[in-house]
Amino acid sequence: MKKFLKKILFFAAPLVVPFVICFFYFGMNSKRKIDNYKFPVTVNKLVIGDSHTRLAINDSLLPNTVNMSQNSEGMIYTYYKLKAFIKANPQIDTVFFGVGYHSFAGYYDDHILLPDISSRYFFVLPLKDQLHLFKNTKSPGLLVLKSMLLGLNNAISSGTKLSFVGAYENYTTKAAISDSSIAQRIQSAYYNKKERSGFSQSNTQYYQEIVKLCKEHNIHVYVINAPTHSKYAKQVPGEFRNKYYTTINNSGVELIEFSGLQLEDKDFLPDGDHVTKNGAAQASNYLREQLSKSKNAIK
Amino acid sequence: MLFNSIGFAIFLPIVFILYWFATNKRLSLQNILLLVASYFFYACWDWRFLFLLVFSTLLDYFTGIKMYESKTTGTKKFWFWFSISVNLGFLGVFKYYNFFASSFADAISYLGFHIDPWTLKVILPVGISFYTFHGLSYVIDIYKSRIVPEKNFVNYSVFVSFFPLLVAGPIERATHLLPQIQRKRVFDYTQAVDGLRQILWGLFKKVVIADQCAKYANVIFNDYGDYSGSTLALGALFFTIQIYGDFSGYSDIALGTARLFGIELLRNFSFPYFSRDIAEFWRRWHISLSSWFRDYLYIPLGGSKGSTWIRVRNTFIVFLVSGFWHGANWTFIAWGLLNAIYIMPSILMKSNRNNLDTVAQGKLFPSGRELVSVLITFSLTVFAWIFFRSESIGNAVDFISGIFSKDLFTKPAILPIPLFLLLIVFMVIEWLGREQKYAIEAFGIKWPRLIRLTFYYVLIAAIFGFAGAEQQFIYFQF
């Protein structure tokens, strides 16, 4: 028996010891990098959100602004990112918070647990959220493995190459928008098979947390509803529109929509709720103009 | 609790340590520990059905003793049929009642009557077919005076409920397992290491092979109307590999786990996809069930003795019952029937025991004849699995006609090259290890230690890397 246990230990040691060392090293390293993530001192405005703002807001067209949006980023992750960025960059005074109709759709609650997404942020989360994630994800093994790989990436990278940091993405496609591609997107975002999906509890909770965080630090928040195709907007179920406007109105933040912006079909990706490079340029210029007219005109 | 879950990864070492360190001084304590651990294991799935398991155990324990103590044949018969009726009654109610009720309603509707059958809203207790068959074999063996009843209730309960085999077999026999429970187990280093290796291979087959094939098989079978013939054929192939990886993987984990506790379970798989005919396939697939039906159904019916008609009848009965054992659906019966038809030529020509050895035994490559035989048998099996996997006979027929009517020789819409490469590596390892109890029993055993360990580490990394949601084992539903 002793021999067996000894052999097991010797067999496991080359796997377990480096794993534990790397796990803690990557964890500490990622924490250190997010806690010390400095923007140039001139940057006082951040764009946060998911792929919608990532593709729609070209930060090079806006003064003193950095787009930190990341694809499929649940608001829980945005919250912890923003918290660290605000702490390390006290000059931040404005946040453009990308929130779309889809943001409160129930699919986000499952989405945030997917290893492909959660592994980007795993090491920068507090322990309680790490444990929650580990317990609730459908594939804990994959989560750990992907987190380790991204931890390694974070250890040798910097800037926007860090897994938890986002950036504006210049996106073009040859695929054209169509009724069926829009319908497909509507289906995946707001319906579960034929049933309408519920609301996202996590995003609803962390929306409030983000607004509260910004208020605590005297940061002005603008919610941005990134441009969507008119056909897409018409198909968004009423419950999600109501939820959207009620939540934003109740939180007392200023909402910027792009209803005055006339984009053509070619400015959208096939799904109708993301814009191309050209669409992003127009949306970003439109945003700049709207801000200059705003009563809280920013500098 | 699933074998491929974090819960089991915590549960197993705890029971192992308690078994060999805290209770090793007394056999009775070890058996009590195994029983408590087994009931806990089962209760993790649904504690309410634990009562059914305990009731089934008590029933067979007492009827076994009553039969043995019976002074007259009539009393003995009474207790025998009482046990058989209650056991099959439970199985009938929980597993087959809804099927019979709806089939009866369908049949009546053909005559122009309409009835709304009263159906049960109960879930199928996991493992009921397996532990019921344990109990049945025990009762039948006592009735036939092959064994004497076990007087120690804990020992008998461990025989029925031993956690590695509780929910999906192997279906054990009292003659094989009870003596091992009755005698003191001594820790055997080689057996334990071998057990761990078998668990590793079982997990690989389940998590890496079966679950990856399942992704594609499910997509193709769920929307078979949308795919070309070539894609459908691929779907059937994926399911064929999936069910093998899933069930034989489960069996490997079960056997390996039992070995950690010094117990050898019956072998359940022996590389069935390398069989040269259907008779050989059935000697290598789900061996504990096939042999159960052979011993408790086929032979009592007369077996292969008697006229050709008797042999044909017995074969059909066994395969139909075997199909029905798998589930309350006509698809399983069709699958059983198809296999009975497949095996018929060798039954009629008395060539069903032609291939008792391993294909290309002692050689690296098979002969041309062997290769063709293996490929034909494999293709027949793939075809039969379509019925097993389909929701209804209609779906199966549509699926098959889809294969042969729509672009069978075009490029499949789903063609996961990395999975194909993985399957090739897997099949090569299985081929090389086909003369062993499981593929990696002796695989790389002569390699330098570092390379061998690296191979095991790669398997572990693959299991972690491919681990998705904890996928239930297919045979849990039976």
Interval B3-23: pLDDT, tens: 888 889 999 999 999 999 999
Which residue does chain B place closest to A13, by CA atoms? B457
Residue B326 annotated to the active site: yes
Nearest chain B Cα distance for residue A121, angstroms: 18
Q: Supply the pLDDT for residue B406.
A: 65
Confidence of residue B405 (pLDDT cuts 50, 70, 90): confident
Q: What is the pLDDT of residues B186-240, one digit of tens each?
A: 999 999 999 999 999 999 999 999 999 999 999 999 888 889 999 999 999 999 9
> For B464, which of A14, A138, A141 is closest by C-beta distance?
A141
Q: Supply the pLDDT for residue B121.
A: 66
Query: For testing the chain B interface, which of A4, A7, A9 should be mutated: the one with the most B CBs within 10 Å?
Result: A4
Q: What is the pLDDT of residues B232-284, one digit of tens each?
A: 999 999 999 999 999 999 999 999 999 999 999 999 999 999 999 999 999 99
Which residue does chain A place closest to B466, by CA atoms? A142
Q: Supply the pLDDT for residue B119.
A: 66
Chain A residues closer than 8 Å to B203 by CB: none
Q: Supply the pLDDT for residue B291.
A: 95
Measured distance CA(A259)–CA(A247) in Å, rounded: 19
Interchain CB distance below 8 Å, A15 and B189: no
CA distances to A48, A69, A191, A203, B13 from A72, in Å? 12, 9, 17, 12, 38
- Strands A94-98 and A191-192, bridge-based pairing: unpaired
Q: Which of residues 81-110 of A touch B (CB under 8 A)?
A: none
Chain B residues closer than 8 Å to A142 by CB: 464-468
Chain A residues closer than 8 Å to B189 by CB: 1, 3-4
Q: Supply the pLDDT for residue A299.
A: 44
Interchain CB distance below 8 Å, A141 and B456: no
Task: Identify the residue with better confidence: B321 or B304.
Answer: B321
What lies within 8 Å, CB to CB, of B243 at 6+ separation is B210, B385, B388, B389, B474
Which residue does chain B place closest to A148, by CA atoms? B465
Nearest chain A Cα distance for residue B131, angstroms: 30
Nearest chain B Cα distance for residue A2, angstroms: 9
Q: Pull the structure tokens for residue A56.
A: 């729609």
Interhelix angle B330-348/B308-326, rounded to 10 degrees, is: 150
Which residue does chain B place closest to A135, by CA atoms? B6
What ipTM score was computed for the predicted complex, to two decimals? 0.72
> For B20, which of A1, A138, A145 is closest by C-beta distance?
A1
> For A3, which of B189, B453, B467 is closest by C-beta distance?
B189
Q: Supply the pLDDT for residue A297.
A: 47
Q: Is A281 exposed, middle or buried (0-12, 13-18, 19+ CB in 10 A)?
A: middle
B401 within 8 A of B412, measured Cβ to Cβ: no
Chain B residues closer than 8 Å to A140 by CB: 6, 467
A14 contact B CB<8A? yes
Q: Is B353 exposed, middle or buried (0-12, 13-18, 19+ CB in 10 A)?
A: exposed
CA distances to A70, A240, A252 from A226, in Å? 14, 16, 19
Nearest chain A Cα distance for residue B267, angstroms: 24
Q: Supply the pLDDT for residue A298.
A: 47
- In B183-228, alpha helices (H): 189-203, 211-222
Q: Pull the structure tokens for residue A235.
A: 């198909």
Q: How many helices (H) and strands (E) does chain A have?
A: 12, 7
Inter-chain Cβ pairs, chain A and chain B, closer than 8 A? 37
Model confidence, pTM: 0.79
Q: Supply the pLDDT for residue B187.
A: 94
- Those residues of chain A that have pLDDT short of 50 are 297-299
**pLDDT over threshold 80, residue B411:** yes
- Upstream peptide bond of A90 is cis (omega within 30 degrees of 0): no
Percent of all residues in chain B with a pLDDT value above 90, rounded to a whole number: 74
Measured distance CA(A229)–CA(A241) in Å, rounded: 15
HSE-CB at A60 with a 13 A cutoff on CA atoms is 8
The count of other CB atoms within 10 Å of the CB of residue B266 is 18
Average pLDDT over residues B356-360: 91
A19 contact B CB<8A? no
